[in-house]
Structure 1
Amino acid sequence: MQARMMQQPLIVSSLLAHAARYHGDAEIVSRTVEEPGADDGVAIVDGVHRYTYADAHRRAGRLANALSQMGIGAGDRVATLAWNGYRHFELYYAVSGMGAVTHTLNPRLFPEQIAWIINDAQDRIVFFDISFAGLIEQIAPHCAGVERWVAMTDRRHLPQSALPLHVYEELLAAEPEDFAWPALDENSAAALCYTSGTTGNPKGALYSHRSTLLHAWSACLPDTMNLSGRDAILPVVPMFHVNAWGLPYAAALVGAKLVFPGPALDGKSLHELFEAERVTFTAGVPTVWLSVLQHLQTSGATLSTVRRMIVGGAACPPALMQAFARDYGVAIQHAWGMTELSPLGAINTLKQKQLDLDEDARFAVSVKQGRPPFGIDLKIVGAEGDELARDGRAAGDLLVRGHWVIDRYFGAGDSPLVDGWFPTGDVATLDADGFMQITDRSKDVIKSGGEWISSIELENIAMGHPAVAEAAAIGIRHPKWDERPLIVVVRKPGRDVSRDEVLAQYPGKVAKWCIPDDVVFVDALPHTATGKISKLQLREQLSAYRWPVAA
């Protein structure tokens, strides 16, 4: 017997339509790339633009009409090269809502990689913030398939260019705001994101409308990001990186105030926005929160309204979590995900029974990457593919499946799935309560004397020293033990720490054979385009390193 229920497709346009109708006066605030001045009829005050979900919905309709006039249709890829801002938000909804595919480009990649991605995706139009005008000049000659380059600005701020640029605000001004958003197949493509390509050419993950909405719903749940219309959300994670972890969709779903930081992502600039806009929730990679913490410590500033931070992209040093909780009353929650997972795979929210644990025991759970929400399933396997125990001790290759996990890459014929599970490339443990902890990337794990050493654990211990700003552990070839761990350290500005002081952190915290054999100090660690420490570049930089004779 069939149920008698309405059938309505889960489509991206319905999110903004809901926000406009039921949360129409909720604000969207953006720090812009232009200097203060009149812009699209709304005043920019001190470089900050503000309007509402109702305004965004009307402008998205104008943009969808403009795209239709330019011949964009179902399935066409429309690229963005932009910071977190209101125009980028409009593109998210206009492009996907009309049935085309929003393709976000990461400006932190090499120009050659960006051009390769544009060509691989067969992007027809590229929208870009004016701060990337120089980059556009570099890549345009290599992107013959791009029909139009659109500067996301008004005529007054249009940069000089040899390219025949279109002006975003003029495109919108020429069109009506009413647009008949189509009732798309919810399994049709909505957005395209590429991996950072650290091991070869980047690969595209093509998300559906259905997967995007299910991901947004899940993100808002109390045990995931716990978002509501009472929040002011500032996504530091870029909209060009896995769709800002889905926050532009989740915020519209609940009608939360959105605060976009634009290109100013330093600790001081972020703190100013946190305070001015009364931000309650924010999300970003560990290096961002290190910058914010350093600003707070050096300036003596406090956080008035921020109470929750999500950290993802890399393991958060426990010392960072403790400093924010102890000194500023901010809870940092670990999250884990991948481009291939849209990206949410796990988030660390304690269960009721864990709230009764003592402080040290609670913290030991909090430093894990978390547990999966409904819609995601995890398991770990050994070398032969056999599932390992969920005891919090056995470490194996992490596999995942779920409603917002890809089954193959964009344009690829073969699927990477193994018996219906996606191999993440991470090494992890799972405990009986479902909490997962990443111990390493499979390509970064240090193998010494036939045993695995977790580079993440070694890094977290080094970060516990008050004079250490960043640390990375890598395996260096050893004549006796195959590999031995080397810890690479960046000192905090104005602070000093010696090799012996760093190594003194380890006894009693790891087995003796896991303790690094040496410490190297550097001015800065190399990072990938998504903010992670690049172990590949670091190993290349230290290729000439030789162990001390006593090692």
Structure 2
Amino acid sequence: MPAYDYQLLLKHVLTQGVAWAPNQEIIYRDQVRHNYTTMYQRVLRLGAALKALGVRQGTKVGVIEWDSHRYLEMYFGIPGIGAVLHTINPRLAPEDLAYTMGHAEDEVLIFHEDFWPLVERLRPRLPRIDKYVLISDKGEKPEIKGVDAEYEALLAGVIPLAELPDLDESSLATMSYTTGTTGQPKGVYFTQRQLTLHTMSGGTTLSALGNYGGINKGDVYMPLTPMFHVHAWGMPYVATLFGLKQVYPGKYEAPMLMKLILGEKVTFSHCVPTILQMITGAPGIEKFDFSRWKVVIGGARLPKGLALDATRLGIKVYAGYGMSETCPVLTIANLKPYMEEWEQEKQLDYAIKTGFTVPLVNLKVVNAAGAEVAHDGRETGEIVVRAPWCTAG
């Protein structure tokens, strides 16, 4: 009998978290509080609902949504039935949005009601989209013409799948577009295998960080990087694999962010420097206890002054590096054991750097001749990288 060819699929990430922590909480703002068991059933309902809408293997499903428990469900439910999740950046110019949705060949669009004016404006330029599903925090369909269903009603109206199907690990799972380029946005896509390996590598790295920024089963996760941006750096997948308590803030509003960070005792997040600066610069912020909070900073260089401001509040900050084309994580800063005895400011000199490669990444900085540059902190060059999760196109 031939050996079973085990496929690396996102559904295995999901079922591991559900088996490990079935009663762990998943929270959306101050509106939703349920557990992993409920989340899993909602993913199965989403799969059934999408199939009822005509979604099939390979169908591109675009999503315009705030960071939410529903987005987490779509991270698993859309690729879980073999469709492709297109995470759409609503901050793009309308002409770029129309281009990316047309180029991606989206056939279904799931969008939050806050984005209806944008969708209505784009709709005449989206002839391929056949179904529109609206998300409402009220759980009801507003009087909007041309919307086929409301998300919660859609899930409530179907019998859930018994399980997510087995798929080929090389099947496409997600796609997005990067604007860090010349000309029109460029698409990147990732397979089930790539996302699963990226999750395993990211989880291994974060759990190995130890005293400076390491995570474990007791952590409380809240993203502060939009979930449309390269899978929120892959961290919702890692949090689900580990069965962590997850908190989703919806639209980024400073009072709600603070309420959730403090009230839900958030211990692990990731964001760009401007979000951290907004928090550290808030009036009266020094009154609050942030000593449990670890924050990975990416998207731009972490200035030492900002790192010092965060450290004075008790926040542990450290840098990460990656690109849209690399799923995205390539490196995360870490202190080697002997560095943990150093004074805090000296530690920060290393924590704000791009750090070390995560497992399975082969990265070099090379000069114009293709030779690796000296590791002296002075010679510069271009990054060349190989990893199992680099986009193939």
TM-score (norm 1): 0.67
Q: Is 1:256 the equivalent of 2:244?
A: yes
Equivalent residue, structure 2, for 1:372: 357
Structure 2 SS opposite 1:246: helix
User: What whole-Å deviation, never above 9, does each CA across 1:490-549 have from its counterpart, x for those lacking one?
Assistant: xxxxxxxxxxxxxxxxxxxxxxxxxxxxxxxxxxxxxxxxxxxxxxxxxxxxxxxxxxxx
In the TM superposition, what are the counterparts of 1:473-484 in structure 2 within 5 Å? Answer: none
Q: Is 1:293 the equivalent of 2:276?
A: no
Aligned mates of 1:300, 1:197 — CA distance in 2 = 36
- Taking a change above 3 Å as real, the CA distance of residues 237 and 156 of structure 1, as seen in their structure-2 partners, is closer
Aligned mates of 1:151, 1:139 — CA distance in 2 = 15
Q: CA deviation at 1:131?
A: 0.9
User: What whole-Å deviation, never above 9, does each CA across 1:378-405 have from its counterpart, x for those lacking one?
Assistant: 1112223332222322111111111111
User: What whole-Å deviation, never above 9, does each CA across 1:128-187 have from its counterpart, x for those lacking one?
Assistant: 011111111111111000011100137864333332342112211121123332111112
Equivalent residue, structure 1, for 2:34: 51
Q: Which has the higher helix share?
A: 2
Amino acid at match of 1:255: G
Out of 375, 382, 402, which is 2:367 matched to? 382
- Taking a change above 3 Å as real, the CA distance of residues 180 and 300 of structure 1, as seen in their structure-2 partners, is closer
CA contact (8 A) 1:64 1:179 kept: no
Equivalent residue, structure 2, for 1:405: 390
Amino acid at match of 1:186: E
CA contact (8 A) 1:219 1:226 kept: no
Equivalent residue, structure 2, for 1:319: 305
Q: CA deviation at 1:306?
A: 3.4
- Number of residue pairs aligned between Structure 1 and Structure 2: 388
User: What whole-Å deviation, never above 9, does each CA across 1:3-26 have from its counterpart, x for those lacking one?
Assistant: x97542110112222222221111
Amino acid at match of 2:234: G
Aligned mates of 1:354, 1:6 — CA distance in 2 = 45
CA contact (8 A) 2:75 2:85 kept: yes
Q: CA deviation at 1:265?
A: 3.7
Amino acid at match of 2:248: F
Q: CA deviation at 1:304?
A: 4.4
Out of 266, 270, 279, which is 1:279 matched to? 266
Out of 124, 128, 147, which is 2:111 matched to? 128
Amino acid at match of 2:8: L
CA contact (8 A) 1:274 1:306 kept: no
In the TM superposition, what are the counterparts of 1:57-206 in structure 2 within 5 Å? Answer: 57-153=40-136, 157-206=140-189
Out of 287, 292, 306, which is 2:292 matched to? 306
Q: Give the structure, 1 or 2, with the largest relative contact order (CA under 8 Å, sep 6 or more).
A: 2
CA contact (8 A) 2:225 2:270 kept: yes
- Taking a change above 3 Å as real, the CA distance of residues 217 and 316 of structure 1, as seen in their structure-2 partners, is same
User: What whole-Å deviation, never above 9, does each CA across 1:37-63 have from its counterpart, x for those lacking one?
Assistant: xxxxxxxxxx42111111011011111
Structure 2 SS opposite 1:63: helix
In the TM superposition, what are the counterparts of 1:329-344 in structure 2 within 5 Å? Answer: 329-344=314-329
Amino acid at match of 1:14: H
Which ranges of structure 2 fall in alignment gaps of 5 or more residues?
none
- Taking a change above 3 Å as real, the CA distance of residues 24 and 105 of structure 1, as seen in their structure-2 partners, is same
CA contact (8 A) 1:274 1:303 kept: no
CA contact (8 A) 2:307 2:348 kept: no
Aligned mates of 1:334, 1:164 — CA distance in 2 = 42
- Taking a change above 3 Å as real, the CA distance of residues 280 and 6 of structure 1, as seen in their structure-2 partners, is farther
- Taking a change above 3 Å as real, the CA distance of residues 21 and 299 of structure 1, as seen in their structure-2 partners, is closer
Q: CA deviation at 1:353?
A: 2.9
Q: CA deviation at 1:196?
A: 2.1
Q: Is 1:217 the equivalent of 2:211?
A: no
Equivalent residue, structure 2, for 1:362: 347
Aligned mates of 2:275, 2:177 — CA distance in 1 = 22
- Taking a change above 3 Å as real, the CA distance of residues 312 and 156 of structure 1, as seen in their structure-2 partners, is closer
CA contact (8 A) 1:309 1:333 kept: yes
Aligned mates of 1:251, 1:360 — CA distance in 2 = 30
- When the two chains are superposed, the root-mean-square deviation of aligned CA atoms in Å is 2.0
Aligned mates of 1:178, 1:166 — CA distance in 2 = 19
- Taking a change above 3 Å as real, the CA distance of residues 333 and 30 of structure 1, as seen in their structure-2 partners, is same
Which ranges of structure 1 fall in alignment gaps of 5 or more residues?
32-46, 410-551
Aligned mates of 1:360, 1:328 — CA distance in 2 = 14
Aligned mates of 1:346, 1:76 — CA distance in 2 = 33
Q: CA deviation at 1:263?
A: 0.2
- Taking a change above 3 Å as real, the CA distance of residues 109 and 301 of structure 1, as seen in their structure-2 partners, is farther
Structure 1 SS opposite 2:269: strand
Equivalent residue, structure 2, for 1:446: none
Equivalent residue, structure 1, for 2:10: 12
Structure 2 SS opposite 1:181: coil
CA contact (8 A) 2:290 2:314 kept: no
